[in-house]
């Protein structure tokens, strides 16, 4: 039984190539939770196999800029030449319904959300070491060498920002990392500050 009515906003973040997307997908395949994924909007071209409205909403730069002007994003960031953003209305709607909403976003965007949603849960996914991150960026093979180099340099600048998060989860093995995230979400639910109001009401504590 949950004691909090509004859903939990869970932000999974960390440098590009740490496997955030893979961990997030593994998390959603696990049983015993009721998480909703917030589908981001991007101006990047779809990669092979990516599906509109499932992996991303793919839009033009003009459309993205128009939406920025109309204040439609909870956060957005420019990342290696493209825009990525979280549509605000959908997140609010789901949280109001008491759903747990998961964002999987890069570091700059996560820190913007931190400013706006103080009660969110912020999880930094870290690689087990730098070589593993580099290997993963190379293995992905969907980017030009120059882009890989830019992503690696960006990751180096982001490592020190982990201290701004509530939790650090090392992605040593995808299922372990997803397991730890689920454990964090469960523990966050039981936090007194999130549940005391309903608890007092339930037991008529004055």
Q: Which residues bind ligand 5GP (CB under 6 A)?
A: 16, 20, 40, 44, 75, 77, 79, 84-86, 104-106, 108-109
Could you tell me which of 7, 14, 36 has the C-alpha nearest to residue 163? Answer: 14
- Residue closest to ligand 5GP (Cβ): 109
CB of 198 to ligand 5GP, least distance (A): 31
Nearer to ligand 5GP, 2 or 44 (CB): 44
Return the structure tokens found at 78. 């420019």
Closest CB to ligand 5GP among 7 and 109?
109
Give the shortest CB-40-to-ligand 5GP separation in angstroms.
3
The residue (of 77 and 133) whose beta carbon lies closer to ligand 5GP is 77
Are the beta carbons of 69 and 61 closer than 8 angstroms? Answer: no
Q: Round to the nearest angstrom and report the end-to-end CA distance of the chain.
A: 22
Instruction: List Cβ neighbours of 41 (8 Å cut-off, separation of 6 or more).
Output: 56, 57, 58, 59, 64, 67, 73, 83, 84, 85, 86, 87
Residue 3 or 132 having the CB closest to ligand 5GP: 132
Paired tokens of 198: 């309903």
Nearest-approach distance from CB 180 to ligand 5GP, in angstroms: 18
């Amino acid at each position: 039984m949950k004691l909090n009515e509004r859903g939990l906003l869970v932000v999974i973040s960390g440098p590009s190539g740490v496997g955030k997307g893979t961990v997030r997908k593994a998390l959603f395949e696990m049983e015993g939770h009721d998480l909703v994924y917030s589908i981001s909007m991007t101006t990047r071209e779809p990669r092979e196999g990516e599906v509109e409205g499932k992996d991303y909403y793919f839009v033009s730069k003009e459309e993205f800029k128009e939406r920025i002007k109309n204040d439609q994003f909870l956060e957005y960031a420019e990342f290696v030449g493209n825009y990525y953003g979280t549509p605000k209305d959908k997140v609010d709607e789901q949280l109001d319904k008491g759903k747990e909403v998961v964002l999987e976003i890069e570091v700059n965007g996560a820190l913007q959300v931190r400013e706006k949603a103080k009660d969110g849960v912020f999880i930094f996914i870290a690689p087990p070491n730098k070589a593993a991150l580099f290997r993963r960026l190379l293995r992905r093979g969907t980017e030009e060498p120059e882009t890989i180099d830019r992503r690696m340099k960006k990751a180096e600048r982001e490592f020190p920002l982990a201290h701004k998060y509530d939790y650090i989860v090392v992605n040593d093995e995808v299922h372990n990392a997803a397991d730890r995230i689920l454990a964090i979400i469960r523990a966050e639910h039981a936090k007194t500050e999130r549940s005391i109001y309903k608890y007092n009401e339930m037991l008529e504590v004055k």
